[in-house]
Amino acid sequence: MKNLVLAVSVAVLLAACGSAVKLDNVPVVDKSGSAVAPGAGGAPSTGVGLGNVAAVDLSKSGQDAAMQAANRLVYFDYDSFVIRPEFQSLLESQARFIKASKARKVAIEGHTDERGGREYNLALGQKRAEAVRRALSLQGVDESQMEAVSFGKEKPAVLGSTEAAMEKNRRAEIVYK
């Protein structure tokens, strides 16, 4: 029963997270449902189900924090792929959260500002995504739980050509699938 309550609350959190993603027209496929199904449906425990979430010493607010949009965003300097020190703790807590369940899968989506060619920006965005992927890997996250992809300059978080807008667009987002 306790498991069920937890599973439901995680599902709610995951759903909330899904709708909080800022990208336009993101198909919010309810993949979170299948992720929690083993626990909720009473499937036999395999040690990788969400039953393990309860065993990990993460406060509920900790999980909440990991899923919030602001805590899944890493910003980059112009023409840079270096993760700034201020994002270190964010990545550590994300790594803890992902490692807590093998069922958790993340896409790390790299983005650039609007300057330059579309394909080259796709490659630059990929470098940002790979930098975050490597940082999470160093924290012990399994490669099979991560996919680094790029949107280049195709999906700006903020429209406009101001430096403030471009700062917000040079980013990598950790998106739970």
Partner 1 sequence: MLKRALLTLLAGFFCLTASAQFRVEVSGVGLTQVPIAILPFRGDDAAPQKIGAIVAADLERSGQFRGIDTGTTVADEAVRPDVSAWRQKGADALVSGSITKLVDGRFDVRMRLWDVVRGQDLGGQSFAVVSGDLRLVAHRLADFVYEKLTGDKGVFSTRIAYITKVGKNYNLWVADADGESAQSALNSPEPIISPAWSPTGGQLAYVSFESRKPVIFVHDVATGKRKLVANFKGSNSAPAWSPDGKSLAATLTRDGGSQLYLMDAAGGEPKRLAQSSSIDTEPTFTADGRTIYFVSDRGGSPQIYRVPSTGGNPERVTFAGTYNISPALSPDGKWLAYISRINGAFKLHVMDLATGSTTPITDTVSDESPSFSPNSRLIIYATQQQGREALMTTTLDGKVKARLAGQGGDIREPDWGPFLK
Which residues are near partner 1 by CB under 8 A?
24-27, 107, 109, 115-120, 122-124, 126-127, 130, 147-152, 154-155
Nearer to partner 1, 60 or 118 (CB): 118
For residues 36 and 60, give the distance between their C-alpha atoms in angstroms, rounded to a whole number: 16
Closest CB 148 distance from partner 1, rounded Å: 6
- Say which residues have a Cβ less than 8 Å from residue 115's Cβ, sequence separation at least 6: 121, 153, 166
For residues 148 and 8, give the distance between their C-alpha atoms in angstroms, rounded to a whole number: 29
Nearer to partner 1, 23 or 65 (CB): 23
Nearer to partner 1, 35 or 109 (CB): 109
Decide: 76 and 109 in contact? Cβ < 8 Å.
Answer: no
Closest CB 8 distance from partner 1, rounded Å: 26
Nearer to partner 1, 15 or 65 (CB): 15
